[in-house]
Chain A
Amino acid sequence: MAAGVAAWLPFARAAAIGWMPVASAPMPPPPREKRRGQDGLIILNVSGTRFQTWRNTLERYPDTLLGSTERDFFFHEETNEYFFDRDPDIFRHILNFYRTGKLHYPRHECISAYDEELAFFGIIPEIIGDCCYEEYKDRRRENTERIQDDEENENNKDLVLPELSFRESMWRAFENPHTSTMALVFYYVTGFFIAVSVMANVVETVPCSSGPNRAKEVSCGERYALAFFCLDTACVMIFTVEYLLRLIAAPSRYKFVKSVMSIIDVVAIMPYYIGLVMTDNEDVSGAFVTLRVFRVFRIFKFSRHSAGLRILGYTLKSCASELGFLLFSLTMAIIIFATVMFYAEKSSSASKFTSIPAAFWYTIVTMTTLGYGDMVPKTIMGKIFGSVCSLSGVLVIALPVPVIVSNFSRIYHQSQRAEKRRAQKKTRLARIRATKSGGANAYLQYKRNGMLADAEEEASKEAGKSLVCKINPTFETQHHHLLHCLEKTTNHEFVDEQTYETNCMEVSLTKPSMSRSSSLSSSPHGLSSCCTRRNKRKSFNVSNSNMVGGRRGSIQELSTIQITERPMSNSRSSLNAKFEETLPLNSEEQSYITAAVISMPTPPVTTPEGGDSASSPDFLQSNIVRVSAL
């Protein structure tokens, strides 16, 4: 029941007195009235804009935030009002909902902002009034489509990593030629051969000059029959190979075979094979000639290469009903006018309008304003009706055309928007990545400059940066502290991308002898700088490379170096303590593997406290934890 009608309930109950004298049975007792307190004004302060309403108005909908006791959480004692730190413009609509019982959707607002506000105030969007519901649903659908598109594109990008079988990679190469050079080459080659084939079909009918002793002109096709045949064979070879490859690579062969492009492919190459099979049989040569017409379908293969063609085809498909209507109305008009013209011209002698079907040709030519002039009316009535026919032809054709045009333009704009989004996506992703790495770098910077505000020798070198650190807002410092706690918890450290990537490369490229040097050199903020920091624990990016195959020697190297340079490192106390005790470390599981700042794969981080030597190499290799930064 609408809120407004609820105001009439007291009236309806009072009017029930009219039933009392005629009642057959005694009345039930009235319900207990709970005195809910005086109906007072409530002040709702939304980001400075004060809204006021009666308490009863809000309590009409007790399952929303404002109508229930949940609003007490937002009560601000000093000013005796309810304060919400939300958008006042959208709040206006929400409050109107309480007042009138109808929720409206403002067209100029962003749909996601609106949804958020509704969710915050506990109002389900389904109660939006009929007047605004269509618009709301449309915008919502657009939004979800856009998000889905983005996700799909992202997923596609992420599939750059291997895990694609040969078949899948081939299919991807076919569908997205710009993904690899091979695919691009293939794309252009097929395009070239399509063009060559179509041109050959065209040129082969041109009359070439014949020899002086020949009587009639022969077409080039007949003169250079062998050359054209070879060319045709080559093209069909390529097309066949392409089709077979696509067939093999397609994820769903059945769907591929049913698709339009594959049918075009088949139709394009069939005539050749049929021609091969059929001998020069006189009976079927006529049919054979017809088949050659189908060779022109090769030109449709270009639609794989051109998005515009695809859009055109899609538009025609989606305007099928308008086109059908156009055809139907034209047919009706043609029949009517042809009949009229025939009877009008029947009297004139030597008239070309010998029958109504003959008059069809005249009508079509006139209605489409072609006017060949091979059939013209001679009688006055015929001329009158002929002019009416041509005028109405223009009208009938002009009617469905705008619909088709608007459809085309809508689809074209949609595809353009998708293109724009894809182009912007690169910049968007770059921006996101920049902020991410910026944040990670900020943290690493922060660490370098000393969380405990110990400005050591290097502070002088990085004096400027340390200043920056000091004037970090509280939020930043707390955030960094949190990241630090995480590092302590997992016994891993954050590093930047470059170091991580160099590690990864070293894993694949490194040699045992080189490991040490490379390891040393690979840590830019490495052992050299770490010695100056007492409480600093520098990222041992090295360990990865070293631990491959469990090279103990290098571990020893590391540990010795470490011990000599950082004897008092109190972080990773358990491990370092062991270092100090035993120099040759066969069994120390070193989780020096430093974490880079990307996504977290499934193997959880293990903080090895005392593992076996046997398991340590495996440990290390599996401990390539990638902790997401920020």
Chain B
Amino acid sequence: MWETEGLQTLGIVVIVCASLKLLHLLGLISFSEDSVEDELELSAARHRPEALEQLEAQTRFSRKELQILYRGFKNECPSGVVNEDTFKEIYSQFFPQGDASTYAHFLFDAFDTDHNGSVSFEDFVMGLSILLRGTVQEKLNWAFNLYDINKDGYVTKEEMLDIIKSIYDMMGKCTYPTLKEETPRQHVEIFFQKMDKNRDGVVTIDEFIDCCQNDENIMKSMQLFENVI
């Protein structure tokens, strides 16, 4: 009589609730909004640079120049260090038409000399010191370091291809003449033709420096950014 009817209804309700719970356990549905774990936000690492005198000694910048550099650096990165994402973001702002993130990644690796994942002011200023005030040898050294992605002393075709592709990426789609698929590859071939003297498929630092020093254009362009600061 009513027991059967009532028990039937009760049974149905129990089954429905149990299935909902099962689904919830399986993670297919979630009941409450805050079942997502709150991610612990790591506070940004703070970093204070070495004293001004030390930096003055280690780099070729004057005191005033260091002050200006630091002010700009700290303004953009109040925490004192640049991590890769911020670096990419900043660099991308200068190349709005294309995608500068890959090249920024290589640049970041080049600047991050101690490979700790962040560029501090010292790294920044050392790099700039080489680029702006260094000898041609040092500059070429730096460039080679940039191309050598795995930092093993040799620049292979693949590494070069990556670099060249990232440079072309910064151009974006709207170029004249339009970029074709094999343009980076051709560019790499030309480069290797020039640089790889012993045709072993890799370019070493000596081959690189030798070849660049014999090339007028490259030599001239190295002096281009002397007066940036």
Contacts and interface: CB of A to CB of B under 8 A. Distances in A.
Interface in B177-229: 187, 190-191, 208, 212, 217-218, 220-222, 224-225, 227-229
A26 B146 CA distance: 20
A17 B140 CA distance: 9
A7 B167 contact: no
A350 B110 CA distance: 88
B143 A379 contact: no
A201 B152 CA distance: 102
Given A4-B76, A21-B143, A381-B10, 13 more contacts: A5-B93, A13-B225, A17-B222, A18-B146, A20-B221, A21-B147, A22-B160, A22-B167, A24-B190, A29-B224, A30-B225, A39-B68, A344-B6
Contacts of B1: 347
A347 B225 contact: no
B9 A20 contact: no
B107 A15 contact: yes
Nearest to A9: B94
Interface majority SS on A: helix, strand, loop or mixed?
helix
A27 B224 CA distance: 8
* Residue among B75, B90, B146, B191 facing the most chain A CB atoms (10 A cut-off): B75
A285 interface: no
B225 A379 contact: no
A11 interface: yes
A273 interface: no
A8 B227 contact: no
A166 interface: no
Chain B contact patch, size range: 35 or more
B139 interface: yes
A29 B224 CA distance: 7
Contact of B142 (A13, A16, A17, A380): A17
12 contacts: A2-B93, A5-B94, A7-B71, A9-B94, A13-B225, A14-B228, A17-B143, A21-B208, A22-B191, A346-B5, A347-B1, A380-B2
A186 interface: no
A20 B218 contact: yes
Contact of A7 (B73, B139, B140, B222): B73
A24 B142 CA distance: 20
Contacts of A457: none
Nearest to B104: A15
Contact of B128 (A1, A14, A29, A39): A14
Nearest to B65: A10
Contact of A11 (B128, B163, B221): B128
A24 B168 CA distance: 12
A12 interface: yes
A11 B217 CA distance: 22
* Residue among A12, A18, A344 facing the most chain B CB atoms (10 A cut-off): A18
B95 to A, nearest CB: 9
Contact of B124 (A11, A100, A346): A11
B222 A381 contact: no
A280 interface: no
A348 interface: yes
Contacts of B110: 18
Contacts of A21: 140, 143, 147, 191, 208, 212, 218
Given A21-B208, A39-B68, A12 B91 contact: yes
B76 A7 contact: yes
B224 A30 contact: yes
A17 B76 contact: no
Contacts of A27: 217, 220-221, 224
B149 interface: no
A33 B227 contact: yes
A579 B93 CA distance: 84
Given A5-B93, A21-B212, A348 B167 contact: no
B227 A17 contact: no
A14 B223 CA distance: 11
A343 interface: yes
Given A18-B107, A21-B218, A347-B1, A30 B6 contact: no
Contacts, number: 111
User: Closest 7 interchain pairs by CB?
Assistant: A7-B72, A14-B131, A347-B5, A20-B221, A4-B76, A27-B221, A381-B6
Given A7-B72, A18-B143, A21-B212, A26 B131 contact: no
A383 B56 CA distance: 86
B176 to A, nearest CB: 14
Contacts of B146: 18
Contacts of A26: 217, 220-221
A23 interface: yes
Interface string B1-41: 11001100110000000000000000000000000000000
B164 A16 contact: no
Nearest to B183: A24
Nearest to B188: A22
B153 to A, nearest CB: 17
Contacts of B71: 7
A343 B12 CA distance: 12
B81 interface: no
A19 interface: yes
B132 A14 contact: yes
Nearest to B72: A7
A119 to B, nearest CB: 28
A8 B76 contact: yes
Contacts of B147: 18, 21
A59 to B, nearest CB: 14
Interface string B135-156: 0000110110011000000000
B90 A5 contact: yes
B228 A10 contact: yes
Nearest to A344: B9
Contact of A14 (B73, B91, B94, B225): B225
Interface in A329-344: 343-344
A19 B100 CA distance: 13
B9 A15 contact: no
Contacts of B6: 344, 379-381
B225 A16 contact: yes
* Residue among A1, A14, A24, A347 facing the most chain B CB atoms (10 A cut-off): A14
A7 B71 CA distance: 9
B229 A10 contact: yes
Contacts of B5: 344, 346-347, 379, 381
B2 A347 contact: yes
B90 A8 contact: yes
A90 to B, nearest CB: 23
B164 A22 contact: yes
Interface string A575-599: 0000000000000000000000000
A24 B228 contact: no
A20 B143 contact: yes
* Residue among B72, B212, B217, B220 facing the most chain A CB atoms (10 A cut-off): B72
A13 B1 CA distance: 89
A25 B87 CA distance: 28
B189 to A, nearest CB: 12
A22 B221 CA distance: 11
A13 B94 CA distance: 10
